[in-house]
Amino acid sequence: MSLPKNEYVSDVWKDGLFEKKVVFCTGGSGSICSAQVRALVHLGANACIVGRQVEKTERVAKDIATARKGAKVLGIGSVDVRSVESLQKAVEKCISELGRIDFVIAGAAGNFLAPINQLSTNAFKSVMDIDVLGSYNTLKATLPHLVKSAGNHRNDGKTANPAGTGGRIIFISATIHYTTMPFQTHVSVAKAGVDALSHSAAVEFGPRGVTSNIIAPGPISGTEGMERLATKEDNAKAHKSVPLGRYGTVKEIADATVYLFSDAGNFVNGQALVVDGAAWRTHSSNPGSSFPYPDFLLNDEVVTGVKGGKNSKL
């Protein structure tokens, strides 16, 4: 079912902005990443989204394709970002069917709430593997194509390249590790690694014209993350605690993506774009805030009331 444009991209961007471009996105069937890709497709791009679940990934790809008549959106399921070979096969299929890769969104991630004493080594490793290793594998598998695209879309900052932009990657991160929060040790460590990876890519491949940046979403309404990690109490008080007085929308993450991939983002490299209404500066809107600190930890209580709880012991 086609979504209204105002749910996934703003009117400020011109149609055809990304004509003939191709975006490759891991975690593309998720609520945030699918909105990012949908915005790019609406603005002229074709896309390839990859995920673990075959049926869901293919279904979301077909839905994204309704954003623009004639759009080509591949949905490749059964892809494990922890395996670079699995990702390389997906990249090869993308190149075979769509011809190129100009933009990449590394969005595959895992999360749940758990204090350290309920967080097993395997559970910790699982998040590290999906977030950090998965992001690294995504970068490795797509880099040759990003470098090629960057070479074809050089820009001196004065005159727009008639071929448009290309050779850009965005890593989806978070703000949790900026100051740390309980129940999210695994995610804090993983996202800090993702940020470091993006910064290194910016420095090493900037000379080749590739830009590497981060989008760090805050609390975004209607997303799988907030549904799994936040209790009803968290959601009820969040609108008061976020400085802008509300949750963000997937459209606002998509708009940030369009900015970084567009001519407006030509000289933006090695940066983290936080889209959270200043929520991280207050902490009170974070998932898990309904579990009283430090009493919850001192009493060795178990996280309950959320779909994304983890009860494994060391």
In-domain check, residue 64:
yes
Q: What is the DSSP string of 45-101?
A: -EEEEE-S-HHHHHHHHHHHGGGSTT--EEEE-S--TT-HHHHHHHHHHHHHHH---
Q: Is the pLDDT of residue 270 over 60?
A: yes
What is the predicted pLDDT for the residue at 314?
A: 34
For the chain, the domain total comes to 1
Q: How confident is the model at residue 223 (pLDDT cuts 50, 70, 90)?
A: confident
Q: How confident is the model at residue 50 (pLDDT cuts 50, 70, 90)?
A: very high
Let me know: does 28 contact 59? Beta carbons within 8 Å.
Answer: no
Distances (CA, A) of 167 to 61, 101, 271, 272: 23, 8, 16, 17
Q: Quick one: which of 250, 195, 204, 211 has its CA closest to 227?
A: 250
Lowest mean pLDDT among 1-15, 92-106, 112-126, 219-233: 219-233
CA distance 111 to 131: 9
In-domain check, residue 77:
yes
What is the predicted pLDDT for the residue at 308?
A: 52
In this prediction the pTM is 0.91
Is residue 191 annotated as a catalytic residue, yes or no?
yes
CA distance 75 to 69: 17
| Residue type for position 89 | K
Let me know: does 283 contact 289? Beta carbons within 8 Å.
Answer: yes
In-domain check, residue 306:
no
Q: Quick one: which of 144, 173, 180 has its CA closest to 256?
A: 173
What is the predicted pLDDT for the residue at 224?
A: 66
CA distance 182 to 162: 49
- Map 120-151 to HEC letters: CHHHHHHHHHHHHHHHHHHHHHHHHHHHHHHH
Write out the two tokens for 313: 């012991």
Mean pLDDT of 196-206: 98
Each residue's pLDDT tens digit, 231-264: 566 666 666 778 998 899 999 999 999 999 999 9
Going by C-beta distance under 8 Å and a sequence separation of 6 or more, which residues neighbour residue 197? 132, 135, 136, 139, 171
Q: Residue-wise over 38-64: b if at least 16 C-beta within 10 A, else e?
A: bbbbbbbbbbbbbbbeeeebbebbebb
In-domain check, residue 7:
no
Q: How confident is the model at residue 141 (pLDDT cuts 50, 70, 90)?
A: very high
Let me know: does 310 contact 114? Beta carbons within 8 Å.
Answer: yes
Q: Look up the domain containing 74 and give its range.
A: 20-298
Lowest mean pLDDT among 176-180, 201-205, 288-292: 288-292
In-domain check, residue 272:
yes
In-domain check, residue 152:
yes
- Active-site hit among 31, 173, 188, 289: 173
In-domain check, residue 307:
no
In-domain check, residue 141:
yes
Each residue's pLDDT tens digit, 152-182: 999 888 888 899 999 999 999 999 999 988 8
Q: Is the pLDDT of residue 137 over 90?
A: yes
Is residue 56 annotated as a catalytic residue, yes or no?
no
- Active-site hit among 21, 148, 191, 310: 191
Does residue 294 have a cis peptide bond before it, meaning omega lies within 30 degrees of 0? yes
CATH number at residue 193: 3.40.50.720
Going by C-beta distance under 8 Å and a sequence separation of 6 or more, which residues neighbour residue 149? 100, 101, 102, 166, 167
